[in-house]
Structure 1
């Protein structure tokens, strides 16, 4: 073989080696990026689910306090104990909100702020900080559930979950709140 043929062969082998190296490097880099994205998506999912769970716990604590304070329910716990339970639940909720703030994108954070505002209005009325009728109390819960559904929609989009979540239809299913009762315990409209 002449010198030119040998140089062409060596150049082809070097080109093949460089191409293989670059291809392997890019594949490993993409694999690493995918692994990081998957890990962060798992952390986001955990944070989003934990946040909604803490919101629901705060809501439940607020309902108990409100119903006892308004004389709609009697419990072996005092109003002070229930208020402390609500304070603890709201504290846990605040920590979960901070995790969302650290991991989420703007759309999810904006939706979480809407949830926080709606939950704050409920806790204020539950504590008696703000006054309102039972219908206004129910309206606050409707607003909260609408905000939670918006949060779910934004979180699903952030996580790349396919499918449609029809929040308005979901919210129309009704709230699980007590019916209006008169002082004698009878159901009123």
Structure 2
């Protein structure tokens, strides 16, 4: 009995060590699994956002060209219908995988592009065209801001709306007069 009592501290040490190893390994495995799940869903979320942005930008581009009279109407309307179909499919992935702020921003972008598309389908000149196009560009910027925030992408703003307006203003502003010769 004395030998068992002498070995008891060693046996308890082995038992505590074994339990500690099991607990530590279990916690590490659980943490690794959660990290892998997060990476996996972030990748899928990124793919959904990219697919949605590509499809909606295609719709926006076709509709804006159609409102400007730059393309054949029948061809553009057919392309618009196809782009709208792709956009609808991509929207479902955003709804399924997106976080709330990104889905809200995506909805606002989609709605603003629908306004441009409505204008294109109506086929009438509209003085609000520049405002609708700018609103869609601002909504796109908000979507990218929300998506980047939800995915943890840093690097600052990637906003394009104001840049596009300034470029448009440069194209439409009259050229300054040449300096007078002396």
Normalising to structure 2: TM-score of the pair?
A: 0.84
Q: In the alignment, what sits opposite 1:55? A: 56
- Cα distance in 2, alignment partners of residues 124 and 12 from structure 1: 75
Q: In the TM superposition, what is the alpha-carbon distance from 1:87 to its structure 2 partner?
A: 1.1
The change in CA–CA distance for 1:33 and 1:130 in structure 2 (over 3 A counts) is: farther
Q: CA deviation at 1:5?
A: 2.5
CA drift of 1:32 comes to: 1.0
Question: What are structure 1's unaligned runs of at least 5 residues?
Answer: 181-189
**How far, CA to CA, are the matches of 1:63 and 1:166 in structure 2?**
22
Q: Does 1:17 align with 2:18?
A: yes
| Partner secondary structure for residue 47 of structure 2 | helix
1:89 aligns with 2:83: yes
The SS at the match of 2:163 is coil
Tell me whether 1:6 sits opposite 2:2 in the alignment.
Answer: no
Structure 1 stretches of 4+ moved >6 Å? 176-180
Count of residue pairs brought into register by the alignment: 169
Which residue number in structure 1 is paired with residue 175 of structure 2? none
Please state which structure has a larger fraction of its residues in helix: 2
Matches of 1:151 and 1:99 in 2, distance apart? 15
Gaps of 5+ in 2: 173-182
Deviation readout 1:91-133 (Å, 9 max, x if unpaired): 1111111111100111111101101110110000011177622
What corresponds to 2:116 in structure 1?
122
Matches within 5 A, 1:36-185: 36-68=37-69, 73=70, 75=71, 78-128=72-122, 132-133=126-127, 136-165=128-157, 167=159, 170-175=160-165
> Would the aligned equivalents of 1:124 and 1:130 in 2 still touch at CA under 8 Å?
no
